[in-house]
Structure 1
Amino acid sequence: MVGNLLFVRFELSTGDASGHNMVTLASDRLMEHILSTVPGCRYGSISGNYCSDKKATAVNGILGRGKNVVTELLIPREVVTRRLHTSPEAIAELNVRKNLIGTITAGGLRSANAHYANMLLGFYLATGQDAANIVEGSQGITHAETRDGHLYFSCTLPNLIVGTVGNGKDLPFVAENLERLGCAEEREPGENARRLAVLCAATVLCGELSLMAAQTNPGELMAAHLTIERKTTR
C-alpha cells in the first residue's frame, strides 16, 4: 500500500504458455471480483507496474517472474587451459571485479553478469518468445570459483519468461526449432516449457563462459570481432 493506493501482484500457473495474456485475462476477472466484494475499492488499472513486465526491478529478482533457473558446470583445469586459453583463477577473479564490483559501481539492479541479454535475444527470437522480456530476463547473477584447482561456473536466471505454446509458436521456423529442442513432446502440462527454460539457461551459460574467458586475455575479444564480423565487402 502507498497512501490510498493498493498494488496487488497475482501469481498463477500457466502450463506450457509464457502466460502474458492468460494472466492479464485472469487478473481482469479477479479485479471484477475484488471490486464487487471489497467495500471502498475503485478500479485504477489492470497494471500498476508491480508486475513488473519488461522492466528491470528488484521485486522480480525477489519474487521471481516466469521460470527461475540455475545452471552450473564444474570444468577441469585442463579443459579451461586448453579450450578456453585461460585459468580457473583468472575467470573467478574477473567475475568478482567485473560482474560484481563493476556492476555495483555502475548501479546495476539485482544483476551481475557480462552479457545475458545477447544469448537471450537470439534464443527468444528462435523459439517465438516475446523478445522484450529480455529486459527482466537479463537480470541474473554469474558466479565463479575454484574447486580443487578446477573451475566452478554458474548462471542464475530468476526471470526467464518462456513458453512452448501460444502466440507465435505456430510459425514454421519456431515450430521446427521447438521440435528439434525436444520441447514439442507429449508431456505433463508445463514440462515442455520447463525444458525450454533449462535449455535457454544453458545457452546463456555457454555464452557467458566464452566471453568471460576471452576477457581474461588482453585484445582477444576485439580480435575475435575483427576476424569474424568485420570482413571487407566488395
Structure 2
Amino acid sequence: MASPRIPRNPGDDYTRSMAAQRRQVLSEHSGAVLAYVGRYSIDPGVLRGNIEGFIGAAQVPIGVAGPLLINGEYASGEFLVPLATTEGSLVASYNRGMRLLSECGGVTTTIVEESMQRGPAFRFDSSREARDFGRWVLDNLAAIRAAAESTTRVGRLLDIGQYQVGPLRYLRFNYTTGDAAGQNLTGKATRAACEWIRDHCPGHPRYVLSGNVDTDKKHSQINTLLTRGRRVVAEAVLSAEALHRIMRVDPVELFRWRQVAMTGAVLAGASGTGVHAANALAALFIATGQDAANVAESHAALSYTQLLDSGDYYWSVTLPALIVATYGGGTGLPTQRECLELLGCYGPGRVRAFAEICAAVVLAGETSLAAAVLHDDWVAAHERLGRNRP
C-alpha cells in the first residue's frame, strides 16, 4: 500500500475544507471514522501559530469546582475553578478540598521568585579556557544583557548561572518574562546573546543553544532549588473541627500519615513530597490553554505541615517550577480564553494571579486526597464516581 500523502495548502491551510480533506485521507488509510474529531466550534483560521496539520479537536470535558477563597497578593476573593479532565471523582475531590480551605479562612498565596531559563553550552579545547571564558562572561555581563534584551519587549535578563564540566561551560540565562511562559522568548533572546558572545569573545567559542541545563519539559533538582517559571507557596491553617466535620479525619492521625507519605516519597525518589499536584495542574492547564507538557516541570511540589499546639493543622505546598501564562500561546483560543476569563485571569497583567490560583487549587487537592486515603474512602469514591465502562 502506498504511503498516504497528507494534504497541505501553503496559501491557506487553516480552513474547514483542508481539515476535512485530511480527515478523509486518514479515514481511507486507517478505516477509522473521525466523526467526532471533525465536530468543533472554533474557527480554524484562528489556529495559525498553535498547530499544524489541523484535522479537528479533542473535546475534553470541563467541570467546575469551588468556590475557593484565596487571600493572595494578586488573586483575592472567591474563585470558581474550571478543570478539564476525564478522571471521574477528580472534580468532586477538589471541590471538597476547596470547601475545607474556604471554611477555614481560605488559602494564603505568595509568589517568592520568578525566572525562566535558556541554558546554552560553550565548548573549548581545555578546561582552563572554559574557566577563563566564565570570567569573561562576568566582565561583559552588561553588553550580553543588552544583546539579549534587544529581542524582546518584556523579557529581562536577571543573571547568568555558570556550571563547568571538563572543557564545557554551561550558562543558565535567567529571565523574567512578563505574562508569557517565556520558553520561546528566552530562546530568541539567548540566541542573540550567544551570537554576540561568539562575535566578541577572543577565540570565537562554539556553542549549542541548549545544553539541557535549562531542563525544558522535564523535572530537575536545579529547578527545585533555583526556580523555573514561578516559585509559589499556598498555605492554610485547617481547624480540627473542620477536618473532623468535612474530611472525617483527626489532625493527629493526619500528621502521622504525612510522615509516612513524605518518607515514602524520599524512598521512591519522587520529584517532591506532595501527593498529586499533577492532577490539578493538568486539568487547569488543559482548560486554560497552557502548554500541557509543562506539567512535567510544574508538578514538583514540596509539602510542609505542622500539628499546631491548638490542635489545628498547618499545611503548605510550594511549587518551585510553576510555568504558566495568561497571554500568548494557547491562552487566546476561544474556549481557553473563556476559562481564563472565568477566573479573571485573561490577558496582560494577570499571570501572577493565575499562578496563585494554581497553587491554591493544588493545596485543595492535597488535603482532599490525603483525607480520602486516611479515612479509607479513596477506592470507594473512585468506584462511585469514576466508573465509566462499557
TM over 0.5: yes
Residue number in structure 2 paired with 1:38: 201
Give the aligned length.
226
- Distance in 1 between residues matched to 2:216 and 2:257, nearest whole Å: 31
Unpaired runs of 5+ residues, structure 1, are: none
In 2, Cα distance between the equivalents of 1:173 and 1:62?
A: 35
- 1:229 is matched with which residue? 386
Measured in 2, the distance between the counterparts of 1:168 and 1:76 equals: 39
Distance 1:59 1:39 in 2: 30
1:159 pairs with 2:321: yes
1:48 and 2:196 aligned: no
Moved more, 79-88 or 44-53: 44-53
> Which of structures 1 and 2 has the bigger CA Rg?
2
Superposed, which structure 2 residues align to 1:53-64 within 5 Å?
53-64=216-227
What CA deviation, in whole Å up to 9, does each residue of 1:86-109 have, x standing for no partner? Answer: 0111222111111x2001111224
Q: Secondary structure at the match of 2:217?
A: coil
Q: CA RMSD, aligned part only? A: 1.4
CA distance in 2, matches of 1:94, 1:37: 58
1:91/1:213 contact within 8 Å kept:
yes
Q: 1:13 to 1:232 in 2, by over 3 A?
A: closer
What code does the residue aligned with 2:228 have? R
> Partner residue of 1:75?
238
TM-score in terms of structure 1 length: 0.92
Amino acid at match of 2:223: N
Secondary structure of the 1:12 match is strand
Higher relative contact order (CA 8 A, sep 6+): 1
Given residue 381 of structure 2, which amino acid in structure 1 is its aligned partner?
A
1-structure distance, mates of 2:232, 2:337:
23
Counterpart position of 1:95: 258
Report what 2:190 is aligned to. Answer: 27
**Superposed displacement of residue 41, structure 1:** 4.7
AA in 2 matched with 1:214: A
Identity %: 38
Q: Is the 8 A contact 1:95 1:143 kept in 2?
A: no
- Give the drift of 1:127: 1.1
Shift of 1:20: 1.1
* Higher share in helix: 1
Amino acid in the other structure paired with 2:203: G
In the alignment, the residues of structure 2 paired with residue 163 and residue 127 of structure 1 have an alpha-carbon distance, to the nearest angstrom, of 9
Once residues 114 and 193 of structure 1 are traced to their aligned partners in structure 2, the CA distance between those partners, rounded to angstroms, is: 25
Matched residue type, 2:289:
G
Taking structure 2 as the reference length, the TM-score comes to: 0.56
Unaligned runs of 5+ in 2: 1-163
In structure 1, how many angstroms separate the alpha carbons of the residues matched to 2:223 and 2:204?
26
